[in-house]
Amino acid sequence: MRFTTARLCGGKALMAISAEPLDIDMNKAAELLKREGCTIKEQDEMILVYEWQGMEVTLYPQGKVMYMPLSDRGHCISYATALLEKLR
């Protein structure tokens, strides 16, 4: 997968933005993440916020994924790739 990244929240978060448009089913994503032991903090059809590896992760249906706190762009892309490949 190809991504661009954006630094957000005063540099405390990174967002991976998928180069190809996606249409993620947020309910299926939440179910998968719950089975993997993630704590869902917020969920609706436009956003899914959960805890993973000490970070707050925000997933959007078009394939954007924000990790906070995170400052390493390589990790951001690696994490987002692994997540979105599971959800395809």
Q: Who's near 34: CB < 8 A, 6+ residues apart? A: 40
Give the CA distances from residue 37 to residues 5, 33, 43, 51, 55, in Å, rounded to whole numbers and listed in that order: 26, 6, 16, 9, 14
- Residue scoring higher pLDDT (1 or 55): 55
CATH number for 80: 3.30.310
Q: What is the CA radius of gyration of the chain?
A: 12
- With a cut of 80, say whether residue 10 has pLDDT above it: no
Q: What percent of the chain has pLDDT over 70?
A: 100
Average pLDDT along the chain = 93
Q: Are the CB atoms for 19 and 4 separated by under 8 Å?
A: yes
Summarize pLDDT for 31-63 with one digit per residue, the tens: 999 999 999 999 999 999 999 999 999 999 999
- With a cut of 80, say whether residue 9 has pLDDT above it: no
Single pTM value for the model: 0.91
Where in the sequence is the domain holding 63, given as residue range(s)? 3-87
Total structural domains within the chain: 1
Spell out a b/e string for 21-56, using b for 16 or more CB atoms within 10 Å of the CB, else e. Answer: eeebebeebbeebeeeebeeeebeeeebbbeeeebb
